[in-house]
Structure 1
Amino acid sequence: MLVDSHCHLEYDSYAAEGDAPIERARAAGVGACVTIGTKLSTFPKTLAVAERYDNVWCSVGSHPDAADEESFTDASQLIAHAQHPKVIGIGETGLDYHYETPSQAAQATNFLVHIDAAQETRLPLIVHTRDAEDDTIAMLEEKMKRAPFTGVLHCFTGTAKLAEAGLRLGLYISASGIITFKNAEPLRDVFREVPMDRLLVETDSPYLAPIPYRGKRNEPSFVTHTAAMLAELKGVSPDEIALRTTDNFFRLFLKAVLT
């Protein structure tokens, strides 16, 4: 089976469909999903989706885009929510300098607090980074010196430098539908070099639908197309990619247990 390691099933675009997206995922061979927290204010909605399904887990965190709206002085709230059995990761968190707001300082403060939570709970850190590679690497390296933590560079779109730094720190690298896009050859080159034992797959749905669905709403069942592209890049079968990325997922997210 495949695991969609990063999606947003609590978003309103899925509400009218009920169980249909999960059923389509199962039919496509996607046996589990993680719906990702993006704000503490909406975490109850995220958790409710995870509680509804045996094969869905969630994370708790605040996206860097929300840093001016939700600021953290310590990790206590994140740590408290992380005690729930369905919460298997911290984030998504990180740095996004693509736009002028939120402020870089506010994002950095929140990012560091999320790392504190990952260190305290021993849950994987789910890292979002865009146009902020040097600062992301520096903060991860500095915090790793103080105490170990695990994690994933989600929806990876960065350079070989960022991938190499993440791998050196013990992080995993997650491929989204972007690797199927026509203009993504430099990104595909990066993924050709990522070791098989450090790869994950995701949709980041409802965003970033892969070819042949680009421009449409994404959903967990579409992760099969990302996996197929990874198989092509690695010169292995889609079944091998499914086996390896699923093994990697459960090795990283130790709290995820299928019943």
Structure 2
Amino acid sequence: MIIDTHAHLNDPTLRSNIQEFLLLARQANVRGILSVGTTVESSQGCIELAEEFAEIRAAVGIHPNNCCQSAPEDWATIERMCLHPRVAALGETGLDRHWDDCPWEVQVDYFRRHLALSRETQLPVVIHTRECANETAALLEEEAKLGALRGVMHSFTGPVDVARRCLELGLYISFAGMVTFKNGEEIREIAKEIPADRILVETDCPYLTPHPFRGKRPNHPALVAHTLELVAEIRGVRLADFAAQTTANAQRLFGSW
């Protein structure tokens, strides 16, 4: 059994053919998928998919690049959504300096809201960071003073010292298709270092299609098997053992599928 811990199944490129993609996932032994929201609307879509398909569970939240488009009542909606029995996590949330879609202070505000809601509900957080890994780690270290953190640094790309800081905070580290890319040597070196009980795999589909399908879209949950295989190889462990380990890790963090 393999669990894809981060998929955007509500994206039109996947949802329009969801039965086909879930069949491919089952054929690849991907029996659990966390469908992750980025807005109120997509979070609701993830819940609907989780209600329909047993292998799907939902994460609800507002992505840092979408915070500025949120209506005043959206956060209260997320607070209600997180009580749904098919919701396993909050997010994705975090910080992003790559795009100019949302002022930094607004991103920080929403990130802290997600972390506070996590402490209140005990749901783990799915954390995004792009071109601001050190700032993200610093904020998490501040927040850890308010209570233990539960969550995952998703689609992690480095640097290694930030991975170490996040591990010290009790967070998990997840790797997506970029670890399989030819220019992903730095990410592979980090993947070797993560403790066995803190490592996860994901697709981040429909994005980041892993080698040997890089460049083809949409990426989809079945292809997480390629990421799993590559990371098992570089860590020098049997594929079956690594599948069992990452599945156990996912279910420890998000609960049973």
Q: What TM-score range do you get, normalising by the shorter chain?
A: over 0.9
2:234 equivalent to 1:230? no
Give the whole-Å Cα distance in 1 for the aligned partners of 2:129 and 2:78.
20
Which TM-score applies when normalising by structure 2? Answer: 0.96
Letter in 1 for 2:190: V
Q: Name the SS of the counterpart of 2:173 in structure 1.
A: strand
Pick which of 75-84 and 163-172 moved more: 75-84
Give the whole-Å Cα distance in 2 for the aligned partners of 1:142 and 1:109.
13
Pick which of 224-233 and 9-18 moved more: 9-18
The residue aligned with 2:240 is 239
Q: Name the SS of the counterpart of 1:65 in structure 2.
A: coil
Letter in 2 for 1:82: C
Deviation at 1:72, TM superposition (A): 6.9
User: Is the 1:75–1:114 contact (alpha carbons within 8 Å) kept by the matching residues of 2?
Assistant: no
Give the whole-Å Cα distance in 2 for the aligned partners of 1:136 and 1:242.
29
Cα distance change on mapping 1:67 and 1:74 into 2, 3 Å: closer
Q: Mapping of 1:170-181 within 5 angstroms?
A: 170-181=170-181
2:122 equivalent to 1:122? yes
Give the whole-Å Cα distance in 2 for the aligned partners of 1:172 and 1:190.
13
Q: Mapping of 1:55-204 within 5 angstroms?
A: 55-70=55-70, 76-204=76-204
Q: Name the SS of the counterpart of 1:9 in structure 2.
A: coil
2:42 equivalent to 1:42? yes
Deviation at 1:211, TM superposition (A): 0.3
User: Is the 2:89–2:254 contact (alpha carbons within 8 Å) kept by the matching residues of 1?
Assistant: yes
Deviation at 1:197, TM superposition (A): 0.7
Aligned-residue RMSD, C-alpha = 1.5
Deviation at 1:241, TM superposition (A): 1.0
Letter in 2 for 1:157: T
Letter in 1 for 2:57: W
User: Is the 1:122–1:149 contact (alpha carbons within 8 Å) kept by the matching residues of 2?
Assistant: no
Deviation at 1:41, TM superposition (A): 3.0
User: Is the 2:2–2:32 contact (alpha carbons within 8 Å) kept by the matching residues of 1?
Assistant: yes
Give the whole-Å Cα distance in 1 for the aligned partners of 2:14 and 2:153.
25
Letter in 2 for 1:161: D
User: Is the 1:64–1:96 contact (alpha carbons within 8 Å) kept by the matching residues of 2?
Assistant: yes
Q: Name the SS of the counterpart of 1:183 in structure 2.
A: coil
User: Is the 1:50–1:57 contact (alpha carbons within 8 Å) kept by the matching residues of 2?
Assistant: yes
Q: Name the SS of the counterpart of 1:42 in structure 2.
A: helix
Deviation at 1:222, TM superposition (A): 0.2
Deviation at 1:147, TM superposition (A): 1.3
Query: Which 4+ runs in 1 deviate beyond 3 A?
Result: 71-77
The residue aligned with 2:23 is 23
Which TM-score applies when normalising by structure 1? Answer: 0.95
Q: Name the SS of the counterpart of 2:16 in structure 1.
A: helix
The residue aligned with 1:2 is 2
Cα distance change on mapping 1:250 and 1:15 into 2, 3 Å: closer
Cα distance change on mapping 1:245 and 1:57 into 2, 3 Å: same
User: Is the 2:7–2:206 contact (alpha carbons within 8 Å) kept by the matching residues of 1?
Assistant: yes
Letter in 1 for 2:200: L
* Deviation readout 1:179-237 (Å, 9 max, x if unpaired): 00000101111111111110000000000000011011200000000001111111011
Letter in 2 for 1:52: E
Cα distance change on mapping 1:92 and 1:18 into 2, 3 Å: closer
* Deviation readout 1:38-63 (Å, 9 max, x if unpaired): 00133221211111101110011011
Deviation at 1:67, TM superposition (A): 1.7
Deviation at 1:79, TM superposition (A): 2.8
Count of matched residue positions in the alignment of Structure 1 and Structure 2: 256
Letter in 1 for 2:103: S
Q: Name the SS of the counterpart of 1:34 in structure 2.
A: strand
